[in-house]
Structure 1
Amino acid sequence: MARRPTRFTEDDFESLEGRASKTEQKKAVQRMAALGEQLAELSPKQIKNLPVDERLIEALLDIQAISSHEARRRQCSRIGKLMRNEDESVILSYLTPKQGLKKTAQLNRWVDRIIKDGDPVINDFSKTYNATERHTLRQHALRVHRDIAKNATEEEIAASRLKLFNYVQQVALISDN
């Protein structure tokens, strides 16, 4: 077996830092498919009013007519792939009324605790919400900590925190089912 002639440098790892692994990408598609199922439960009028791509609206309307379990599963997978191109915040804003204000405030408190206390709270959150992937949650929290440590702008810190909140909200929506 041939050895690599040079050692890895910090630049090699920094170029990979922001990218998600294939496993994380697949799990994200599965989360989006589960959210897509919940979007499909909306009324046809609400689906048509979604500010998303026309293909996604058609796929959401089509799934309502599908009764076969396997065909429905494939359609959910397709919806998950179509939702990759959409803004998570917009999609979650249509699903949060199902949670209510009390639940949203509770999730905000979870996010604050995760940022403040780290792993013990992540473990508690994982026990409470069974759809949680500890690694992904930890990565989101670490991004917030990294932005704070490098004295990033308020907008960058807020963007990282929003990504963490969106993930927590997705997990809560999926786990409630």
Structure 2
Amino acid sequence: MARRTQRFTEEDFDSLEGRASKTEQKKAVQRMAALGEQLAELSAKQIKNLPVEERLIEALEDVKLITSGEARRRQFLRIGKLLRNEDETVILSYLTPKQGAKKTAQLNRWVDRMVVQGDPAIKEFMKAHNAAEHHPIRQHILRINRDITKKASEEEIAASKLKLFNYIQQVALISDN
């Protein structure tokens, strides 16, 4: 087997940054399927009013008619796949009333604590929420800290924090069940 003659450059790693591994992609699909299960619990009227693609609304309505366990599982995976094309902030806003304002404020405090304290706060959050994973949280925090050190605009930092908050909110919704 021939050896690679050139060394990897910083650009090689920068091009890979932000890409999710296969495992992370699979776990994201599982998280989205779990969110789909919670969306399916909404009333038919609430499902109709969701600002999402028609295919997703039809899939959520179809899952209510499915009785077989395996067929439901596959349908939720399909819903999870369709959810990836949607704005997760909008989807989470429909599920947030299930959590309440107190829980949302608590999750915002978690975000601030994790950004400031790092790993100790992440481990504490993971103990409280069994669906949480260390790597995605750490990646979000590293992006936030990188934005802060690069003196990025407040909008960019807020966008990075929103991504972390959305992940944490998904985990909290899944863990509460």
Q: Which residue of 1 aligns with 2:58?
A: 58
Query: d(CA) in 2 for partners of 1:129 and 1:88?
Result: 20
Q: Which residue of 2 aligns with 1:106?
A: 106
Stretches of structure 2 that go unaligned for 5 or more consecutive residues are: none
Query: d(CA) in 1 for partners of 2:165 and 2:90?
Result: 13
Q: Which residue of 2 aligns with 1:12?
A: 12
Query: d(CA) in 2 for partners of 1:128 and 1:142?
Result: 22
Q: Which residue of 2 aligns with 1:21?
A: 21
Letter in 2 for 1:68: S
Aligned: 1:82 with 2:117: no
Stretches of structure 1 that go unaligned for 5 or more consecutive residues are: none
Q: TM-score normalized by structure 2?
A: 0.98
Cα RMSD over matched residues?
A: 0.6
Aligned: 1:30 with 2:22: no
Once the 2 structures are TM-superposed, how far is the Cα of residue 18 of structure 1 from its aligned partner? 2.1
Query: d(CA) in 2 for partners of 1:158 and 1:86?
Result: 20
Q: Which residue of 1 aligns with 2:119?
A: 119
Letter in 2 for 1:110: W
Query: d(CA) in 2 for partners of 1:18 and 1:128?
Result: 26
Letter in 2 for 1:133: E
Once the 2 structures are TM-superposed, how far is the Cα of residue 65 of structure 1 from its aligned partner? 1.0
Letter in 2 for 1:23: T
Letter in 1 for 2:97: P
Query: d(CA) in 2 for partners of 1:43 and 1:100?
Result: 18
Q: Which residue of 1 aligns with 2:135?
A: 135
Q: TM-score normalized by structure 1?
A: 0.98
Once the 2 structures are TM-superposed, how far is the Cα of residue 70 of structure 1 from its aligned partner? 0.2
Q: Which residue of 2 aligns with 1:93?
A: 93
Q: Which residue of 2 aligns with 1:145?
A: 145
Query: d(CA) in 2 for partners of 1:15 and 1:139?
Result: 15
Letter in 2 for 1:150: K
Query: Percent same amino acid among aligned pairs?
Result: 78
1:63-113 CA distances to partner (integer Å, 9 max, x unpaired)? 011111100000000000000100000000000000001111111111110
Letter in 1 for 2:165: F
Q: Report the count of equivalent residues.
A: 177
Query: d(CA) in 2 for partners of 1:64 and 1:146?
Result: 44
Aligned: 1:45 with 2:45: yes
Letter in 2 for 1:121: A
